[in-house]
Copies of this chain bind each other. A is one copy, B any other.
Amino acid sequence: MDRIAAARAVFDNDRFASEATGVEIVEVEDRYARCQVTVADRHRNAMGAVMGGVLFTLADLAFAVAANSETLAEGKLHWVSIDSHIAFLTNTRNGILTATARCIRQGRSSCVYSIDVADCEGKVLAVVTTTGMKT
């Protein structure tokens, strides 16, 4: 089973991300991941734009995939987010949103990832910094 299939097998169990939100994993490398969601009516806030919780959930899943990238083949998850900061830059109403998670620090018991969420034209909608902890 290749890496992305392994990631999908594990995170299909993340029912909030995969089912309720519709997030799909599209790329996994060492300490790196990209996830996507196609904006639909179920993602809207009361103003008709994408609800902040969608952007957060998309970024949080990208973090979880990237931070656990090295043990996904064994079906194991060791890292969880303990702390996240999200800055909302702009919003959108349509298209595919992509979260890209990159490691900026990997320690033995803690890690820090930077996650960008962009629309289909590459415009950044949100920047997220997440601190993870080994469980």
A30 surroundings in chain B (CB, below 8 A):
none
Q: Is A20 located at the chain interface by the 8 A CB criterion?
A: yes
With known contacts A77-B47, A89-B105, A110-B110, A16–B82 Cβ distance under 8 A: no
Pairs across A and B, CB under 8 Å, 23 listed: A13-B44, A14-B45, A15-B44, A16-B21, A16-B42, A16-B44, A16-B45, A16-B53, A16-B54, A17-B51, A17-B53, A20-B21, A20-B42, A52-B56, A52-B60, A56-B57, A83-B87, A84-B85, A84-B86, A87-B112, A104-B124, A110-B110, A127-B129
Binding site for B on A (CB under 8 A): 10-11, 13-17, 19-21, 41-48, 50-54, 56-57, 60-61, 64, 77, 80-90, 104-105, 109-110, 112, 114, 124, 127, 129, 131, 133
